[in-house]
Each structure stands twice: as structure tokens, then as C-alpha cells.
Structure 1
Amino acid sequence: MSNHRERVTVVIRTKNREQLLSRALDDVIAQTLPDWRLVIVNDGGRPGPVDALIAQRESSFDGRVEVIHVDGGTGSMEAAANLGAQRANGEFVIIHDDDDTWDPTFLEVMVDALDADPDAVAAAARTEIVFERVSPDRVVELGRAPFVPPGEIVTIYDLLQTNRVVPISLLVRRRIYDEIGWYDPALKVVGDWEFNLRLIRHGRILFVGETPLAFWHQRPHATGAASNSVFGESLGHMQFDRMVRDEALREYIDRNGIGGLLYLSKYIEETVRHYSLQQTIRRALHRPLSKLRLRRR
């Protein structure tokens, strides 16, 4: 039994990535806010190494950890996230993938932000991409880049284009899952984006942090268990992205008809073609004029 309250339920989904999981466990333990409980979903991975990592940190966890070993796996990252999030007893839920990290003050700052704004459904932290390479004995950082929504605000406008908020940065009120539903387990990838689209339609998402508090780790050249889904499942991302958009379009057409969309798609095509042709003509005219100027000199 833990001596701490469960204000935040942290869900880690993992599979055979002990080196990265070890870092993630220490990351949670290092949080300045102690009122968390960790649910680890071992989604079809070897149970022994996960149990060993937990045992090594038993005193630090102080009863604040639960491990779910899923023999054979759940079938998708979103199903694994649901399995963990449905065990939440606190006010807030966050998905902390096994390869990502936080600033030590992340939970404290984010909880304070939502406590101060009870009408917000969730809070998204300023995020930084960390490029890295995994070797057998260590993880080497290669560089960093900001990952911030345009205008430093989370909007439907931007989320319609692509996902601007990754799980490691997003703290959600637990009750919101009951109101909008869980992650779609049929989506092998992009499930967090589809969830965010429902979330932002339901209410306002705060943007928090003058400095990065969440760190989205990427390994562009890694293969196998060490890879990121955004790289290792790039074709899947394209396919499932289109599936989400196609389903939304079908619902829109059922309510509004197809005429407006037919017009808009043709208008965009012809407008792009027009400006592309203009640019081609300008480039073609620019070349002989440039040569003529050079000759005169």
C-alpha cells in the first residue's frame, strides 16, 4: 500500500525494450510531484526483464506500481493504452511511452495548470524532439528540435492537418475518457491523433510551459524493437491517417451531401495547377533574361 495519493495515473506501454524502459521508470520516479501511480502494460514482451527492473526499484516505487503482462499482446498500441488507462483511479491520466522522458517538474507543473483552469479538458506541454541512437550499452543523443503547435496554442485547425500533441506531453482529466470514449483499438497507429481530434472538439486544451517539459525521443535509423512507429510504421501511418479521414468524410457526406466537397476538391486542384503553371512560365522567362544580362556585362 502506497503512502501517496493517486492524483495522476501514468501508463507505460512497453515490449522488449528493457534499456529504454529502465530510463522511463527512473524518469517517473524522479518527478517532483509524488502523487502518482504507474501502470505498466507489457504488451506481449518478455515478463522476466520487466519484473526485474521493477524489483530493482521497489523501494522507490513505494507501492505505486502495477504491472500487467499481456501474453501474446493486445493487438495495438491503442488497446494497450486503454488497458492501462482503464485502471486509473486518480484525477488525471497520461501515456508515458517507454522511450520518452519528462523534465522532473512535468507532473507538478501540469497538474497545477489544470487545477488553476478547471474548465480545460487537458493540458499539453511544450515539447522537444530528442534524436538519439541506441547502442548495446548506452543511448547517445544526436540533437534536438522543438515540437510546438503553431501559435503556441492547440487548435482544431492545426490538428486537422497533423498531430501536434504527442502522448508524452498530454495530461488528460480521467473523467473525459468516460465522456468521449477511449483510444480506438482498431488503429494500429495514429490512434493518439484520432483521440486528440475528439478531445479538442470536446473542450479546450491548455498549452503549458515557457521551456520544454516533455521530450519525444526519436531514432530515425533504428530498426526492430528500438524503432519509432512514426519511422518503422511509416506506410501504416499513411494508411491509417487516410482511414480516419475517410471515415470522417463519409459521416460528413451522409449529413451534408457530396456536392460541396466535389466543388472544393476541383477548385483546389485547378488553383494549384494555375499557380504551378505561372511559376513554370516565370522560371522559363527568367533564364534567357538572366543570360542576356550576363552578356551585356
Structure 2
Amino acid sequence: MSNFSTPPLPKVSLVMTVYNTEAYLAEALESVLAQTFPDWELILWDDGSTDRSVAIAQNYAQKDARIRFQQGDRLGRGRALSQAHRLTQGEYVGWLDADDRLASTALQETVEFLDRHPEYGMVYTNHVNIDLRGQRQGLGQRCKIPYSPIGLLVDLLTFHFRLLRQSVFATIGGIRPEFTSAEDYDLSLRVAEVTQIYHLERPLYFYRINPQGISHQQQRLQRESSERAVNEALRRRGLERSLQLMVTEAGEFHLQQFAPWQAKPITDAARSHFKRGKSLAGQGDLAAAVACFQEAIRLQPDYIAAHNQLGNALQGLGQLEAAIAAYQHLLTFNPTLAQAYCNLGALWQIQGKTQNAIAAYQQAIQLKPDLAAARQNLANLRGDR
């Protein structure tokens, strides 16, 4: 027998692609070395840099064996990310841009969340904007928007820092490099279709606003790729005949309804399970009712009434996170349901997530101005602040 043992695989794989970022690369790498959670590897992939980035990267790789450096020809960010991810070994994977920084507890807090919540496939945090000198410019605007699968169709809410399960990454087929400058948006949209995503409202990533950065130089291409990613998501979700993506001159995304909701007739089998579920709920057997509603949805995924009743039953059972997920899923099929937003607001209010609750009530009132419950709850919340 051999006396040699295989070293354990790292818990987290971070991926960083580098292209001519000598001014900030050391700062980014130091933020990884400063992590309070030590069980990580960093796949550091140079994408054909012509400045001192390679020398800096090699120096750090020599200092810490957890940094695995690869030097390659110029591929472009999407293909470089795809190649780098093939080297990852961790249970969880995340990205760090070479001109940004992680807060020291970023890995610890996101790993702890995913370890405690196996039902979630990805967690993302708040990010703080910084200038070229590293001075803080305040919380990013996306951080103030509550997460929802439908909201993700009009904005990359899952901006930074994202940590997802390697199994989820594999399930969705990884990165698609053809979505140039919007690879992360396309990835997040596909993740949202196979698992739950959680917004950890902690400022754990520092995003550098760089006028010379790639994201600014390629805004038009990024917008086009993002638009294509959203339209593909609408087709995958069966919403292309109900919702149309509209893009303003300023590049803002909006969804416009242009067909009646739920045009397909409800099948007899799905309707039977739905009726049985309502009867059981009326008798107080909420657990059995949940099973019936879930079966109705399995048979007909766009069964809006079943999604709504499932959320109500889960709420009655005190399963608040599951109820939130049910209402959010419902809104992916019909984002005009004011009552669903009102229900979400009530659940977030119970959990003490005041900003989320306010945003949900506001959305409900915008859709249905005479929705008394939303108006009253919103007034109560604002009065409490």
C-alpha cells in the first residue's frame, strides 16, 4: 500500500481572469489572502497581458500554493473564464475581477450560508463602489432592489459577490462565452431557473468604477449580449408569447405584456389535484394540500392559481422561505399580480426585512392602486421608521 494520500479538495474555488490590470492586481490578490476562511484555491488565469500583470501573478503564486497560475494567449473574458473554470475543484465557485477586492469575511459568510441552506444554489452579496484610488463611493444601486426571478429579467441583481455550488454550475452547462461582456448575466439567469438564489445583504465586495475598464469600453456589446440573454431566458421559461423585452434609449430594460396570461387550457389532471388541494386546505390539512398543489404545478408549470395556493399553504405552515420562493416563482409567469407582491411584502415584513417589504408593497400599489392591504401595510411600515 502507498503511504501517500491525496490532498483534500478545497471547499471554495475562486476564479480571476487577468488582462493588463497591473495597477490593481496586487490589491485584489491581497484581499484573497486576507480571507478569514482559509480553505480556498484561486485559479489565476492571465488572458494575454502585455503589462506587468504576469510578473505580479507569478510572484503571488510562488508565495502561496493555493494560488494556481495559468498563462495563456488572448482569448477574451468569456473564453478565459470558461477555460479557468475547467481547473476548479471546489464544492463552491465564485469570481473576483482583477481590479476589485473582497471583504475579508466574504468567503466565510457566503460559505456559511450555503452550508446551512442546501435548498439554495447560489448566494450573492451587496457591493460597495470604489473609485480608482480605492475610496468608497457608497452602496451599489442594485443592492437596494429585492431579489426576484422576474426582477432578474430586467437587471443583473446578482452582481457581486456571487458564490454558487459547483453542482449547479455543472447542471446549467457552465459559462457561455458567446455572451460577450454579459457572461455573468446569462449565467445568473440560467441558475435562477434550476435553483433558489439568496441575497445576503452584507457589503462584502468592493467594485472599482473604472472609466477605462472593459465594461465601459464595450457598453454597446454588453447591452446587446444582455438583451439576447434575457430573450433566451424568456423562451426557456415559456414566456416569449406573454412578455416582450423593451430597451430604452438609455439602455434600461422593461418587460411589456402583450398577450393574455395562461392562454393554455388547464389539463383535467392538473385541475383535479388543484381542487383536491383547495379542499384539503379548507379542512386545515395544509401539508397534504401543499403536495396536491405541487403535483398540479408539476403537471402544468404555468398553473398560476396553483402557484398562488401553494404559497398560501406554505405560509400557513410557517414555511416562510418556501412561501417566498413560491410567490417569486409565480411572478416569473405573471409579473402583474399585485396580490403576490403584497404577500411577499407581508412575509418580508414578518422577517424584519423592511426595505424588501416596502419595495414589494410599492410594486403592488403600482400595479393595483386600490389594493387596501398593501397601502395599509406600507403606511404602517413607514410610520414605524
Q: Which of 191, 205, 210 pairs up with 1:199?
A: 191
Structure 1 unmatched runs, 5+:
134-138, 268-297
8 Å CA contact retained: 1:155, 1:200: no
Q: CA deviation at 1:145?
A: 3.1
CA RMSD of aligned residues (A): 3.1
Equivalent position of 2:208 in the other structure: 217
Q: Which of 151, 155, 166 pairs up with 1:158?
A: 151
CA distance in 1, matches of 2:127, 2:38: 22
Is 1:83 paired with 2:77? no
Q: CA deviation at 1:259?
A: 8.5
CA distance in 2, matches of 1:156, 1:104: 29
Is 1:67 paired with 2:69? yes
For 1:255-274, what aligned pairs fall within 5 Å after superposition? Answer: 264-265=257-258
For 1:56-205, what aligned pairs fall within 5 Å after superposition? Answer: 58-59=62-63, 61=64, 63-71=65-73, 73-74=74-75, 76-130=76-130, 132-133=131-132, 139-141=133-135, 143-150=137-144, 152=146, 154-166=147-159, 168-205=160-197
Equivalent position of 1:291 in the other structure: none
Structure 2 unmatched runs, 5+:
1-5, 245-255, 261-385
When residues 52 and 238 of structure 1 are mapped into structure 2, their CA distance, relative to the original with a 3 A threshold, is: closer
When residues 125 and 4 of structure 1 are mapped into structure 2, their CA distance, relative to the original with a 3 A threshold, is: farther
Q: CA deviation at 1:49?
A: 4.0
- Tell me the amino acid that sits aligned with residue 216 of structure 2: F
Q: CA deviation at 1:114?
A: 0.6
- Tell me the amino acid that sits aligned with residue 143 of structure 1: Q
SS where residue 24 of structure 2 aligns? helix
SS where residue 198 of structure 2 aligns? strand
- Tell me the amino acid that sits aligned with residue 101 of structure 1: R
Equivalent position of 1:12 in the other structure: 16
SS where residue 23 of structure 2 aligns? helix
Length-normalised TM-score, structure 1: 0.73
When residues 4 and 33 of structure 1 are mapped into structure 2, their CA distance, relative to the original with a 3 A threshold, is: farther
C-alpha offsets along residues 189-215 of structure 1, whole Å, 9 cap, x if unaligned? 111111101101111112224x41112
User: Per chain length, whose mean CA-contact separation is higher, i.e. which structure has more relative contact order (CA < 8 Å, sep 6+)?
Assistant: 1
When residues 147 and 86 of structure 1 are mapped into structure 2, their CA distance, relative to the original with a 3 A threshold, is: farther
CA distance in 1, matches of 2:242, 2:42: 50
8 Å CA contact retained: 1:78, 1:184: yes
8 Å CA contact retained: 2:37, 2:107: yes
CA distance in 1, matches of 2:162, 2:180: 20
CA distance in 1, matches of 2:158, 2:182: 11
CA distance in 2, matches of 1:257, 1:125: 30
Length-normalised TM-score, structure 2: 0.57
- Tell me the amino acid that sits aligned with residue 146 of structure 1: G
When residues 149 and 157 of structure 1 are mapped into structure 2, their CA distance, relative to the original with a 3 A threshold, is: farther
CA distance in 1, matches of 2:99, 2:122: 22
Pairs aligned (count): 246
